Amino acid sequence: MAPARFPESFLWGAATAAYQIEGAVSEDGRGESIWDRFSHTPGKTFQGQTGDVACDHYHRYREDVALMRDLGLRSYRFSVAWPRVMPQGSGRVNSPGLDFYERLVDELLDARIVPVATLYHWDLPQPLQDGGGWQNRDTARYFADYAETVFRRLADRVALWITHNEPWVASFVGHATGEHAPGLRDDRAAVQVSHHLLLSHAEAVRVFADYRGSGGAIGITLIQYPCHSYTDRAEDREAARLADGHFNRWFLDPVLTGSYPQDMIEQYDRLGWGPEIRAEDAESIRRASIDFLGVNYYFRRLIRAPGSTARLFETVEPQADAPGLTAMGWEIHPEGLYEALIRIHREYPRVPLYVTENGAAFEDRPDSDGRIRDQERVEYLRGHFLQAHRAMAEGVDLRGYQVWSLYDNFEWAYGYAKRFGIVHVDFHTQDRSWKQSAEWYREVIAGNGF
Ligand code: IFM
């Protein structure tokens, strides 16, 4: 196989999120988030597990950064917990919360690791949820205030800012299927939430203009699900087009072209899910131009026509025992990453791209010597790196790649049952140990390819 070489400046890294790794949920003035409330509600997560302790990163961040340095990471993507910075969601700033992120960022810079900070990775302060959460458009304004508070403290040191992580998931898994906090089951609410998330993104980008002088850049991370028609039938192909509108274009279009796709506005209106979009919101979204786009990719979706006109499409889930699935039951389909990157490159105005998440959960089993030889994860990553490389060879301006995840961590509704880490975490002792994939990744970074 020909070697895959990446540019010298390629920003190899790993990603995590606050609620998934930090723990210390009641320390130093942190307020309650919707994920604290949700995970403590019986029946919402696997075995009632919570992020109360998680990887205890809040206390162990120094040793964690040392581990990142040993891995040779060039960047580290983490998220800032809004309830640590503003326990009520708005108003009073909790300085000790900001101090933690300042210590973390300084530690990263000392280790010559580029900090990549996400402002919202799903942990809305519970008091804001009590006031309507993301269904309330005021939350967008509070988000911009929170963002400014964080910029004021850290814009001189953080290289890449990501406003939101996967707004599709925050909207629809949080408000339509109810599997994530706050656990609503209301399609109309979910579409409205998606608009307010995008509005808040636009507001934060506007606020960031005053902090540009420090040399940082701002973008957003969108999850991409290539949507493939299950059959060749015209109705299935049309359903796949609408699914692409729902999962992908509904977010790509406003972020990269400044307006929502008209066909999806019509579809949501037809279903009675149409969001209220004020003229000034549309203007705000139109003006918010980003410096880069973060792409998260895990799997494609197979789509067929819905059984009822009250839906846009149906997703055909893989058979649980089908070969080639991860422990999440997700199909391993590396070509989907190539497809997503090329599609953005060809159909949207040019913008630098970063893969801000890609990785897989497997049933990792230690060998008799205690080591985890996670060959499946190595193959998974190699396959996806190759597809990223292929896209770059065809002109895609891809500047970095963050593996999900640095650590096994709190996988939301699945609790600790699904392990995505390249580093194993023993949740009883908090011992961290490198899996084979971490060793392999270190070589990839050191050699800038494989
Ligand atoms: O763990 C999540 C992460 O928080 C967001 N993207 C997908 C990952 C795996 O499910």
SS3 for 194-209 is HHHHHHHHHHHHHHHH
Q: Is 411 a catalytic residue?
A: no
Q: What is the pLDDT of residues 327-384, one digit of tens each?
A: 999 999 999 999 999 999 999 999 999 999 999 999 999 999 999 999 999 999 999 9
The bridge status of strand 423-425 relative to strand 398-404 is: unpaired
Question: Between the CA of residue 436 and those of 108, 185, 253, 355, 363, what are the distances in Å?
Answer: 24, 40, 39, 22, 14
Ligand 1 binding pocket (C-beta < 6 A) is: 17, 20, 166, 296, 357, 404, 411, 420
411 CA to centre of ligand 1 in angstroms: 7
Q: Select from 221, 357, 405 the residue to mutate for testing ligand 1; criterion: most ligand atoms less than 8 Å from CB.
A: 357
CB-based contact 97:84 (threshold 8 Å): yes
Ligand 1 atom at minimum distance from 165 CA: 5
Q: What is the pLDDT of residues 101-155, one digit of tens each?
A: 999 999 999 999 999 999 999 999 999 999 999 999 999 999 999 999 999 999 9
Per-residue pLDDT band at 1 (split at 50, 70, 90): low
Global model pTM greater than 0.85: yes
Alpha helical stretches, state H, 312-374: 335-347
Count Cβ atoms below 10 Å from residue 419 Cβ, excluding itself: 23
- The pLDDT, as a whole number, for residue 271 is 98
- The pLDDT, as a whole number, for residue 2 is 73
Q: Is 166 a catalytic residue?
A: yes
Nearest CA to ligand 1 atom 4: 17
Helix (H, G, I), strand (E, B) or coil at 4: coil
Q: What is the pLDDT of residues 20-46, one digit of tens each?
A: 999 999 999 999 999 999 999 999 999
Ligand 1 atom at minimum distance from 20 CA: 4
Domains and CATH numbers, the chain: 11-447 (3.20.20.80)
Nearest CA to ligand 1 atom 10: 411
CA 336 to chain centre: 17
Per-residue pLDDT band at 272 (split at 50, 70, 90): very high
Q: Which of 166, 203, 331, 411 is catalytic?
A: 166
